[in-house]
Amino acid sequence: MHERTRTISRLEKQLEDAGIKLSVVASNLAGVSCHDILTAMVAGQHDPIALADLARASMRNKRPDLQRALTGRFTEHHAFLVRMSLDRIAQDDAAITQLTERIEQYIEPFRGLRDLMCTIPGISTTVAEVVIAETGGDMRVFPTAAHLAAWAGVAPGQNESAGRKKSTTTRPGDSHLKAALGIAALSVSRSNTTRLAARYHRIAARRGKLKAVVAIERTLLSIIWAMAQSGQPYQEPGPDYYTRLRPDRTKARALKMLHDLGYNVTLQPAA
């Protein structure tokens, strides 16, 4: 996947050298429309109007922009380099397809668990598959969710001497699993519509974004562990979960904020 991304970046640079600004109009140079246009250019078609007319679907609405972007100095040497990049992208796509089919074969016994994980906000199919691959898919080997979090390296370290707590830096863990959980936690952080998002923003406000990400990673693993035991999909309690859970604390926090802004507030229950 990384090699494919590098190839696409190299293709973009080759086109820019030829004065072709296709990436300004198209978000994906490896898409169907761009592939047809570039293939035609390699074959010798350099008329911007004819090339823009090869666009498909929503790209057809951008034909005037495409005509301007496809006006350049595309030489035979550029065609040679672009052809190599297109061939490499095709090879990468074929390899990705083969790997995907292979993964589907191995994931078959764990398909139910993967589908359950995908009901959790932030957990994509890829993240779920990484969790299964790195844990072995059998959560029974971890007596509790805390054991799983500690093994994964997302639990606070225990460093206490003479009753004083020192560093609570997380312990080393499975790097692949932590990377996948990090992606899921960042996805959660960009939302405001789930309980997990509310938890992230609450912790980030007090302790910083990095600690909030780790906390969400740990929460995700706890949910996955519990879900594997019960076999039940994730039930979203909503972004107001903590407000409903501790209404007095929420009221006190709101009053403090208003007081800090210079207001004296008297509360009266609504009718």
pLDDT in tens, 172-225: 778 899 999 999 999 999 988 999 999 999 899 889 999 999 999 999 999 999
Phi and psi angles of residue 267, each rounded to the nearest 5 degrees, phi first: -95, 140
DSSP 151-177: HHT-S----EETTEE---PPPP--HHH
Instruction: Dump pLDDT digits (tens) for 85-119.
Output: 999 999 999 999 999 899 889 899 999 999 999 99
Contact yes or no for 182/215 (Cβ under 8 A): no
Q: Could you count the other beta carbons within 10 Å of the beta carbon of residue 163?
A: 5
CA separation for the pair 150, 166 (Å, rounded):
18
**CA atoms of 152 and 148, how far apart (whole Å):** 6
* CA dist., res. 184 & res. 195, Å (int): 14
The per-residue pLDDT for 167 is: 47
Q: How confident is the model at residue 170 (pLDDT cuts 50, 70, 90)?
A: low
User: For the whole model, what pTM was predicted?
Assistant: 0.71
Q: How far apart are CA 93 and CA 238, in angstroms?
A: 39
